[in-house]
Amino acid sequence: MSRYPASVIQVIKHFSKLPGIGEKSAERLAMHLLRMPQKEVESLARSIVDMKQKVQLCSLCFGLSDQSVCHICANPARDPRVLCVVEQPADMVCIEKTNAFYGLYHVLHGVLSPMEGVGPENIRFKELIGRIESGEVKEVVIATGTSVEGDTTAVFLAEKLSGFGIIVTRIASGVPVGGDLKYVDPLTLKRAMETRHAI
Ligand SMILES: [Zn+2]
């Protein structure tokens, strides 16, 4: 790598810090950028900075948004009585792709993990309770992953929500145990959403 000019080495170093990109791939990407038209490279660089500046968490569901309230929460056609609880913003996108859910979301930004010291105060649990206390929610669909932490979180939530007189369901069927929603195909996830059950 040291045979490259310093500016190239800099780019390779940045790329190799990204997930799933080793030094070889980083080198290939840098070479590719050098062959790309100047305008395209500038547009790519700008879009990264732009994304970083604009994207914030939706003040209602904590999903990713360009505005203080995301397009899903702002959509009057969505059913505010059903809330789907997910671990991460990417899980929300996975469920949206299935076109099987018409309610709103709540992103926890993590799962409970007693082993790693992650408790309810470290995820958006308080905010979830706040939304339920507002009275509009009639059903909470827990769509955390099927890992031990995902299940622990689902059981914890079901227990905490049991006193609110609402229906609490869990997507399950077809989602592999230990699986991450990211790796479940949309059709399986659609079925899992449709066959959710009370917990
Ligand atoms: Zn939102």
Q: How far is the CA of 67 from the centre of ligand 1 (A)?
A: 9
Q: How far is the CA of 91 from the centre of ligand 1 (A)?
A: 13
Q: Is the pLDDT of residue 175 over 70?
A: no
The tokens for 75 are 């959509």
Identify whether the C-beta of residue 114 lies closer than 8 Å to the C-beta of residue 171. no
Which of 75-84, 130-139, 147-156, 170-179 has the least mean pLDDT?
170-179
175 against 141, higher pLDDT: 141
Q: How far is the CA of 46 from the centre of ligand 1 (A)?
A: 25
Q: Residues 133-137: what's their mean pLDDT?
A: 91
Q: What is the pLDDT of residues 54-68, one digit of tens each?
A: 999 999 999 999 999
Q: How far is the CA of 3 from the centre of ligand 1 (A)?
A: 48
Q: How far is the CA of 33 from the centre of ligand 1 (A)?
A: 35
Q: How far is the CA of 64 from the centre of ligand 1 (A)?
A: 8
Q: Is the pLDDT of residue 147 over 70?
A: yes
Q: What is the percent of the chain with per-residue pLDDT over 90, rounded to a whole number?
A: 73
The pLDDT confidence band at residue 180, using thresholds 50, 70 and 90, is confident
CA distances (Å), origin 110, targets 4, 62, 89: 40, 12, 10
Q: Which amino acid is at 144?
A: T
Q: Residues 95-106: what's their mean pLDDT?
A: 93
Q: Which amino acid is at 119?
A: G
- How far apart are the C-alpha atoms of 55 and 129, rounded to whole Å? 25
Q: Residues 24-40: what's their mean pLDDT?
A: 97
- How far apart are the C-alpha atoms of 113 and 187, rounded to whole Å? 29
Average pLDDT value over all residues in the chain: 90
Q: How far is the CA of 85 from the centre of ligand 1 (A)?
A: 12
Q: How far is the CA of 139 from the centre of ligand 1 (A)?
A: 17
Q: How far is the CA of 72 from the centre of ligand 1 (A)?
A: 6
pTM score, whole prediction? 0.78
Identify whether the C-beta of residue 99 lies closer than 8 Å to the C-beta of residue 76. no
Q: Which amino acid is at 136?
A: E
Q: What is the pLDDT of residues 108-128, one digit of tens each?
A: 999 999 889 999 999 999 999
Q: How far is the CA of 26 from the centre of ligand 1 (A)?
A: 35
